[in-house]
Structure 1
Amino acid sequence: MLVQTLRTAADFTALLERIGDARLVLLGEASHGTHEFYRLREQLTRRLIAERGFSFVAVEGDWPDCNRVHRAVTGAPGSLDPITALHEFARWPTWMWANTEVAAFCRWLRAWNLNQPPAGRVGFYGLDVYSLWESMQVIVEYVREHDPAGLDAVWDAYRCFQPYSREPQEYALACRFVSAGCEDEVARLLAQARAQMSLDGATRFDVWQNAQIVADAERYYRAMIGGGAHSWNVRDVHMADTLDRLLNHHGPAAKAVVWAHNTHVGDARATDMAAANMVNIGQLARYRHGRDAVVLVGFGCHRGQVMAAPGWAAPRQVMTMPPARAGSLEDLLHHRLPGPSLLVFPDTDGPPWLTEVLDHRAVGVVYHPGRERSGNYVPTRLGERYDAFVWCDQTTAVHPLHAQPAPGEMETYPSGV
């Protein structure tokens, strides 16, 4: 196993060699609120774009919000400055993407792109499923302007969701007690989106993607109220499908970097998620594209500070994350690695702890430091879950752009990841 101290972006060279000609590089994080995870992902992603020709970055964020950032970083006509585009992220927890760490990367990406021909500019996209109303609004506005004859199907879907006052949770509850849902209306909306295939490439893709979000979001919220693995799987399959659509949209030579939580990036089959019949993006990427085409990189830390909230949609706080519990992966690495390090795993003959089941910390946007001893850990076979691992012994919190929190969606499992 290769172990490399991380001081600068140059220290990622061994990982770039491991990545080789891989088409997908999935970069994780052990929390959504840690400065070092964002900074190190940025350093590695810059090198993948500049040295390996990666085509786009796809993140665990909403499509409409990220589309404004995409237009900003690619210099689309009439687009916003990247900072302004990030300020417009309105869904709680806004600090996940509207932070100074992402802003620095997006400004670099815009500067990089403006020195490239338009066809070669690197995109920035959202993979998530939460933007039911925002995606619906995009479709309404487009059809009203460009295809008035198709308004009936769009308005049918819009009116079906309208009684729930832009609260998908209310729709989920209604489906629990009343059999009627909006599936038929959404099916007609998808058919209408498919009818737009004569549009130019970028507009066609955006219309189709927003329609698919509406369809998958309807399924997600309907499944979520029942609990269990189904809603998680709807969400992660949607994100994996969106990633594949983006690869197809960018062409056969396209390569993608993904930024998401470890619970989405690391192969679920190497955790207790498998026993619960849960899948994730990393597992699906390996299955669909083959292990040689996919590199999964996990991130972890021992202690420090993190941006999180004590409850769903509650005001964010800088919280102190206590030292990892004894016997965990983080406890083991703390005693072996004194500072930021990169671990690149061998195909065979690694140290025994790579294949042992160890508890691996996972912190969501909702976090209770006092419950560290009983929660926040995922049993993991590290060498099977990831191809490499980035270690930060002590960490600090991200720096949000927004002054105030914004409303959010219902909690996902594990808490807010």
Structure 2
Amino acid sequence: MTDSNQSVPFTGDALTALLPPGIRLLGLGEPTHGVEAFLDLRNELFRHLAEHEGYRSIAIESDCLAAVHADAYVTGGAGTLDDAMSRGFSHGLGESDANRELLRWMRAHNEERPPHERLRFYGADGPLEITGPAAPRPALTAPHDYLAAHLDLPWSRETLDDLLGPDERWTSPAALMDPSQSIGRGPEARELRLIADDLRALLAGHAPHLTAATSADAWWHADLHARTAAELLRYHAGMADPTPARLGALMCLRDVMMAGNLDAIVRREARRGPTLVFAHNRHLQRDESRWQFAGQSLRWWSAGAIAGTHLGDRYAFAAMTFGSRGSDVPRPGTLEGFLSASPHDRAVIDPGRLAAGLDRELTLRVPADHTYFSLDPETIGQVDAIVFVRDI
């Protein structure tokens, strides 16, 4: 059984006590999506971090461009909470009560604070839905229009529109499993990738003038769109890959996109405070991510692993896992079965003390319905804290 040195009731203080000093990015991972208990726990932790640990931002596994609408709401912009929920999330996350409560609380928290102390909301993911990537038009035209207001550009909006064509060409559901249905490697897509690269170079090269003429925030949002356009076009090219490596490459490209977003967020927030990022454990873990899918063994490095390479000990990772979900009860020899002996319904576990106190080897839990990934006992040494929820 886990003793008091290994397992304590979940609180923000209990979790942060296990983290190294100087954190700039804290990853809180969940083992599966769609469980409000995990999001409620995330909200509780973020409130603690904002009120007691100096955190000023949160990023979640949602579209980085859509999140601009949610951030505008929480920082005091016009519009309703309903509008922020419908426009500010991807993957159906706008339907979550816990996400609604997060935005409501963040706006209330910000109302009596000056701009430099207000909490910000970010999306860590790209514009990627389950059915496939979005069309690149919004991501590409936003930085073009921003630059065109201040510089003479070699391309017009009409040129971009001609190259882009109808959005339906980019978003065909058939391309998800059939690379021949993707236009991501056609001549127009190749030309657009060059333009996206040049837009980012122009934004960087003229940053002093552009930020003075507009604002640092306006420049940041233009760069966000330009970065997303380049990465989205790269993902579309991956969709058109006819080789067996296609699926693994797409997993890698998605996490590279997420890592780029996290890097930009950390740099933007450098003078304000650390950031909490909430996503699936597979996107935040330090060890190599693995997935058996469609008869293939996929392996890639997560956004957290990539960010951790850059940040070193300024990145920390807390992994969540759970015990029972209905009839799915973990076996005694698994990590989750072992943790279920904890006296706490929600617990924080020190992985180092847990490993030192084990008197037997634990096995990997095999999910009953394959909708989640269990925590691998062999990798807990690369986790700074484990958060365990007994029942979901």
What TM-score do the two structures reach when normalised by structure 2? 0.80
Please point out which of 287, 311, 314 is paired with 1:289.
Answer: 311
Which residue does the alignment assign to 2:302? 280
Q: Offset at 1:210?
A: 1.2
| 2:364 equivalent in structure 1 | 359
The one-letter code of the counterpart of 1:286 is G
| Deviation sequence 1:169-201 (CA, Å, 0-9, x none) | 566534589754613322213323443431421
Contact kept in structure 2, 1:56 and 1:257, CA below 8 Å: yes
Q: Does 1:259 align with 2:281?
A: no
SS in 1 for 2:276: strand
Pair 1:231-2:250 in alignment:
yes
- Answer yes or no: is the 8 Å Cα contact 1:57–1:257 preserved in 2: yes
Opposite residue 311 of structure 2, the aligned amino acid is: H
2:60 aligns with 59
Alignment-derived partner of residue 392 in structure 1: 389
1:67 to 1:244, Cα distance in 2 relative to 1, 3 A: same
Does the 8 A contact of 1:361 with 1:378 survive in 2? Answer: no
Determine if contact 2:331/2:365 at 8 Å carries over to the other structure: no
- 1:75 positional shift: 1.1
User: How far does residue 272 in structure 1 lie from its aligned partner after superposition?
Assistant: 4.4
Residues 50, 168 of structure 1: alpha-carbon distance in 2 compared, 3 angstrom cutoff: farther
Cα 1:293–1:158 shift into 2, 3 Å = same
CA distance in 2, matches of 1:139, 1:177: 15
Aligned with residue 3 of structure 1, among 7, 24, 37: 7
Letter matched to residue 101 of structure 2: A
Gaps of 5+ in 1: 305-319, 363-368, 396-417
Cα distance in 1 between the residues matched to 2:366 and 2:304: 18
Is the 1:302–1:331 contact (alpha carbons within 8 Å) kept by the matching residues of 2? yes
Question: How much does 1:168 deviate?
Answer: 5.8
1:12 to 2:33 alignment: no
Who is 1:184 aligned against?
191
Secondary structure at the aligned position of 1:381 is classed as helix
Q: Which amino acid aligns with 1:255?
A: P
Call closer, same or farther: CA 1:357–1:179 in 2, change over 3 Å. farther
Query: 3-state DSSP class of the match of 2:95?
Result: coil
Match of 2:148 in 1: 147
1:298 is matched with 319
Matches within 5 A, 1:109-258: 109-130=106-127, 133=134, 136-137=137-138, 139-140=140-141, 143-144=144-145, 147=148, 150=153, 152=155, 154-163=157-166, 165=168, 166-167=170-171, 169=173, 172-175=179-182, 180=187, 182-196=189-203, 197=207, 198-199=210-211, 200-224=215-239, 226=241, 227-252=246-271, 254-258=273-277
Instruction: Describe the shift of the 1:213–1:169 C-alpha distance in structure 2 as closer, same or farther (beyond 3 A).
Output: farther
Q: Does structure 1 residue 323 correspond to structure 2 residue 352?
A: no
Shift of 1:280: 0.4
Report the Cα offset of residue 140 of structure 1: 2.8
**Aligned mates of 1:169, 1:133 — CA distance in 2:** 11
Q: Give the deviation of 1:295 after TM superposition.
A: 1.5
1:4 partner amino acid: V
The alignment partner of 1:393 has SS state of strand
Range with greater deviation from structure 2 (136-145 or 32-41): 136-145
Q: CA deviation at 1:299?
A: 0.9
Q: CA deviation at 1:322?
A: 2.2
Q: TM-score, normalised by structure 1?
A: 0.75
Other-structure match for 2:40: 39
Q: Give yes or no for contact 1:168–1:221 (8 Å, CA) kept in 2.
A: no
Give distance in 1, aligned partners of 2:345 and 2:31. 17
Taking only aligned residues, the RMSD between alpha carbons, in angstroms, comes to 3.3
Unaligned runs of 5+ in 2: none
| Alignment-derived partner of residue 70 in structure 1 | 71
Measured after TM superposition, the shift of residue 350 of structure 1 is 2.4
Q: Give the Cα–Cα distance (whole angstroms) in 1 for the partners of residues 333 and 233 of structure 2.
A: 41
Q: What's 2:84 paired with?
A: 85
In structure 2, what is the equivalent of residue 103 of structure 1?
100
Distance change >3 Å, CA 2–CA 283, structure 1 → 2: same
| Residues 309-356 of structure 1: per-residue CA shift (max 9 Å, x gap) | xxxxxxxxxxx57223564322232244552211123389623489x6
Measured at CA, do residues 195 and 176 of structure 1 come closer, stay the same or move farther in structure 2, by a change above 3 Å?
closer
In the aligned structure 2, how far is the partner of 1:90 from the partner of 1:254?
24
Partner in structure 1 of residue 50 of structure 2: 49
AA at the equivalent of 1:243: L
Distance in structure 1 (CA, Å) of the matches to 2:191 and 2:81? 38
C-alpha change, 1:71 and 1:89, in structure 2 (3 Å) is closer
1:383 aligns with 2:380: yes
Amino-acid identity (%): 18
What SS does the aligned partner of 2:18 have? helix
Q: What is the Cα deviation at residue 157 of structure 1?
A: 4.3
The 2-side partners of 1:101 and 1:231 are apart by 30
* Contact 1:229–1:278 (Cα < 8 Å) also in 2: yes
CA offset digits 1:1-34 (Å, max 9, x no partner):
531123xxxx331222223431111011111111
State the Cα distance separating 1:40 from its structure 2 match.
0.8
Equivalent pairs, count = 361
| 1:29-65, Cα deviation, whole Å (9 max, x unpaired) | 1111111100111111111111111121111110222
